[in-house]
Amino acid sequence: MQIKSRKLKNVTSVFWNSQNSSLVLLDQRVLPWDIKFNEYHSVKDVSEAIKNMVVRGAPAIGVTAAYAMVLSTIQALTKFKQQEKRIEFLKMSYQTLISSRPTAVDLENFAKIVLEEAINTNLSVEKVLNRAHSLRTQVIEECKKIGIEGEKIIKNGETILTHCNAGAPATVDYGTALAPIYVAHSKQKKIRVIVDETRPRLQGARITAWELYESGIEHLIITDNSASFLMSKGEIDKIIVGADRCLQDGTIANKIGTLSLAISAKYFGIDFYVALPWSTIDQSGTKASKIAIEKRDEEEVKFVTSKEQRILISNEKSSALNYAFDVTPAKLIKGYITSKGVLTLEQLKKVIKKIKKE
């Protein structure tokens, strides 16, 4: 994405440093106050970065996992002489990665692709790295297409609500839910974006609002609990969100709070769309009740972090529940914004079946 307020022409959230064979991640924990990049040389450290949300957003985590498997390949070749030991190390690295954040399926999908590439090429670092590069390019190009297809449903003068951050930092570049908004803005459509804060880590208030500001797009931050009231007043025309996992029946897992928005949208007759790349499709046949929903540390709820300090906002001895994701059934979703168009549920199912056969 373009950063207009700083001396940076272009910022992407995940990339490979070929000079020292390291993975570089934009530290999303310090946005919007600082633009900071961290370098990683081991799967263990990358796994911690994923857990601690240095990197976040399903596609960005997926690309991160792909490059982490490159680091694992390099480590395996350095540590072990026997091929059997090397492959065992790679498989352990894969397990470490997929346990980092279990809900987002892109992580598992991309890590598996690069693991298989490593095994099939006798741990050729060049080929494994090229495979990771190709996955990164795939995500960027697909997000561009999501923007082009999604813009078609945005009318001039509309107000669109989005949840969490499904923009450039979450997807390497461009975004999923924000991509159609960027394209609409580039076509001079007058639009306004409602950004809910997205407690407890405030990805909406911190990251989405910053991203929209940098892009010159009119926006307004709201508290999470005011979204339904705005819908009731007729102040929201559409809702577009991203997804961390999409099942074959169209059910999605996404940032906690998505389900509440979808229910309210259905009640008030507001179209609710999900924007997603194909890497977010869970091809395993998982049922909605079996999705692993991540629970995070209760201190994320009890404390708020600003640029300068971390402040306790609750009674210190009280307990807090902190689900990171919820599950939204397909019957609440108007359509799926993909690189192949804005699809109905039945159209989505047909494409998923076709991809599975390939």
Task: Identify the weakest region by mean pLDDT among 2-11, 46-55, 158-167, 342-351.
Answer: 2-11
- Structural domain boundaries, residue 172: 152-357
Task: Read off the pLDDT of each residue in 173-191 and give the average, rounded to a whole number.
Answer: 97
The answer to whether the CB of 14 falls within 8 A of the CB of 40 is no
User: Does residue 72 lie in a domain region?
Assistant: yes
How many other C-beta atoms are found inside a 10 Å radius of the C-beta of residue 166? 33
112 & 160 share domain:
no
Task: Read off the pLDDT of each residue in 270-298 and give the average, rounded to a whole number.
Answer: 95
Three-state DSSP class for residue 38: strand
Task: Provide the pLDDT for residue 9.
Answer: 59
Q: Is 244 a catalytic residue?
A: yes
Catalytic site residue from 237, 244, 282, 326: 244
122 & 209 share domain:
no
Task: Read off the pLDDT of each residue in 5-12 and give the average, rounded to a whole number.
Answer: 67
* Confidence (pTM): 0.95
Task: Read off the pLDDT of each residue in 100-110 and give the average, rounded to a whole number.
Answer: 94
- Measure the CA dihedral 56/344/192/231, to 10°: -100
219 & 263 share domain:
yes
Task: Provide the pLDDT for residue 315.
Answer: 96
> Which residues lie across from 38 on neighbouring strands?
25
User: Does residue 5 lie in a domain region?
Assistant: no
157 & 119 share domain:
no
In the predicted structure, residue 27 carries a pLDDT above the cut 90 = yes
Fill in the DSSP letter of residue 154.
Answer: P
In the predicted structure, residue 355 carries a pLDDT above the cut 90 = no
In the predicted structure, residue 43 carries a pLDDT above the cut 60 = yes
**Tally of structural domains, the chain:** 2
Q: How confident is the model at residue 308 (pLDDT cuts 50, 70, 90)?
A: confident
The b/e string for 207-240 (b: 16+ C-beta within 10 A; e otherwise) is bbbbbbebbebebebbebeebbebbeeeebbbbb
In the predicted structure, residue 166 carries a pLDDT above the cut 70 = yes
Q: What percent of the chain has pLDDT over 70?
A: 97
Q: Give the CATH number of the domain where residue 245 resides.
A: 3.40.50.10470
Task: Read off the pLDDT of each residue in 155-162 and give the average, rounded to a whole number.
Answer: 99
User: Does residue 285 lie in a domain region?
Assistant: yes
CA dist 62 and 261 (Å) reads: 26
User: Does residue 44 lie in a domain region?
Assistant: yes
The answer to whether the CB of 311 falls within 8 A of the CB of 340 is no
How many other C-beta atoms are found inside a 10 Å radius of the C-beta of residue 245? 25
276 & 347 share domain:
yes
- Which of 141, 165, 196 is the endpoint of a domain? 141
User: Does residue 9 lie in a domain region?
Assistant: no
- Which of 91, 116, 141 is the endpoint of a domain? 141
The answer to whether the CB of 14 falls within 8 A of the CB of 136 is yes
Q: How confident is the model at residue 2 (pLDDT cuts 50, 70, 90)?
A: low
Two tokens, residue 295: 């629970």
Task: Read off the pLDDT of each residue in 71-78 and give the average, rounded to a whole number.
Answer: 98
E strands of 247-353, at which residues? 252-255, 271-275, 303-305, 310-312, 325-328, 335-338, 341-343
> Which residues lie across from 311 on neighbouring strands?
304
User: Does residue 312 lie in a domain region?
Assistant: yes
User: Does residue 6 lie in a domain region?
Assistant: no
Task: Read off the pLDDT of each residue in 27-35 and give the average, rounded to a whole number.
Answer: 95
137 & 158 share domain:
no
Task: Provide the pLDDT for residue 8.
Answer: 59
Q: Give the CATH number of the domain where residue 23 resides.
A: 1.20.120.420
User: Does residue 8 lie in a domain region?
Assistant: no
